[in-house]
Structure 1
Amino acid sequence: MIGLVMAGGKGTRMDAKEEKLLLQYKKPVVIHVIDALKSSNCFSKIMAATSDNSPNTQSLLQNNGIETIKTKGDGYVSDLNAALSYLHELTLVVSGDLPLLDGGIIKDLVASYDGGAWQSFLVTKKFLDDMNMMLEFSVNHDNKECYYTGISIVDPKKISSTNTIKETYRIIDDKRLALNLNTKRDYDLLKGA
């Protein structure tokens, strides 16, 4: 299995002077994600999708031995589709801005893979409200309002077109998946975590 870190976004909602994935939480946030993938011992290779939006992040990743796939930086979905077109084995896709990830939760996610073409991991709105957190993209699953965490397991061999994918879901209400750095408020929550 490949671990693919999405690391090519602009981070405009963060309104920071530096690239979002380079924000410090003891070390650059993207390195927390890389270290979580490494410590899980679940991956034959760890890679990152980068773009011209994040040249310093790309340099940091390459200096840490992470192979990068250059995308156009047109948005998460188009960058992900471009990166997946290069991959031919089962892939755990993770956003590069999940600083609380650790090897244990990654192992749990991989162990729960259902064998489908695309399995996304969700948290419930209730959990987010209880934790005073917000995420952006919602879906109704099991009669619950849920939000995408930015983590999926994808089998590129089972995908002919992203328009016809049967996506499955698993709810895991865990702050390691829920704290996604999209805004300054999220970064303030991280510093208090």
Structure 2
Amino acid sequence: MCGGEGTRLDTPVEKPLYEIGGDPMVCRVLNALEASAVEHIHAAVSPATPETRERLAAEHVAIIDTPGTGYVEDLQHVLDGRELPVLTVAADLPLLDGKAVDYVLEIHEGGSLSVYTPSEVKTALGLGYDITVEAGERTLVPSGINVVGDREDSRHVTEDFRFAVNVNRRRDGQIAEALL
């Protein structure tokens, strides 16, 4: 998923092309997927990310054009007519690697799987977050990597920083750089 406008990041480049460690975030995620057991990679772009579309097309990545009306709406557009399950990964997870992606594939037991990070891990790292889910006495933050299946959702919580670092703000980018 690489069609977001990146308004919180406040940068002149498209959010997926924002560089961490000298490489665009979307390329870092692409490298992680290529190093994993994932068999087919598609990039979901929107009208807000024409340069990202061009960059990925040049790297021979299959492109899915979405309307750019929002993450959930664009994801639904991507999933329409596709065979499930589908692994979805946000382009703002620059610390992912092939082993982290394979871990998610290994723990998937059918149906849908949502991966979360405890809010206290994000806070300890100095990262911002906007969306939370209450789970008993814990507050969880969606990680940006999930498996969408045709059955009920299961939840996995991890403290692994590779899943905790979503770059939505410049401060998040600085933290990602430091963790590299």
What range describes the TM-score normalised by the shorter chain of this pair?
over 0.9
8 Å CA contact retained: 1:92, 1:154? yes
Who is 2:175 aligned against?
Answer: 189
TM-score, length basis structure 2: 0.94
- Residue in 2 that maps onto 1:135: 129
Shift of 1:191: 2.3
Q: Equivalents in 1 of 2:133, 2:154: separation in Å?
A: 11
For 2:123 and 2:98, locate their aligned partners in 1 and report how far apart those are by CA, in whole Å. Answer: 26
Q: Is 1:109 aligned with 2:104?
A: yes
Structure 2 unmatched runs, 5+: none
Partners of 2:63 and 2:139 in 1: CA distance = 34
Identity %: 31
Asked whether 1:23 is paired with 2:9, we answer no
For 2:9 and 2:125, the matched residues in 1 are separated by: 20
Report what 2:142 is aligned to: 148
Deviation at 1:136, TM superposition (A): 1.8
Query: Do the aligned residues in 1 keep the contact of 2:28 with 2:94 (CA within 8 Å)?
Result: yes
Structure 1: unaligned runs, 5 residues or longer: 1-5, 160-165
CA drift at 1:126:
1.7
Rounded Cα–Cα distance in structure 2 between residues aligned with 1:103 and 1:132: 25
Cα RMSD, aligned residues only = 1.3
Q: Is structure 2 residue 47 aligned with structure 1 residue 61?
A: no
> How much does 1:122 deviate?
0.2
What is the total number of aligned residue pairs between the two structures? 178
Alpha-carbon separation, structure 2, partners of 1:154 and 1:143:
26
Cα deviation per residue 1:77-108 (whole Å; 9 max; x = unaligned)? 10001001142132110100110000011111
TM-superposed deviation, 1:132: 1.6
Q: Does 1:179 align with 2:165?
A: yes
Match of residue 32 from structure 2: 36
Give secondary structure in 2 for the equivalent of 1:120.
strand
Following the alignment from structure 1 to structure 2, what is the Cα–Cα distance between the partners of residues 24 and 144?
32
Amino acid at match of 1:18: V
- 1:124 and 2:115 are equivalent in the alignment: no
Deviation by residue 1:134-172 (Cα, 9 ceiling, x = unmatched): 2221112253111001111012xx27xxxxxx3221001
TM-score, normalised by the number of residues in structure 1: 0.88
Other structure's SS at 2:163 match: helix
Q: Following TM superposition, by how much is the alpha carbon of 1:20 offset from its aligned partner in structure 2, in angstroms?
A: 1.1
* Residue 89 of structure 1: aligned partner: 84
Match among 4, 8, 14 for residue 9 of structure 1:
4
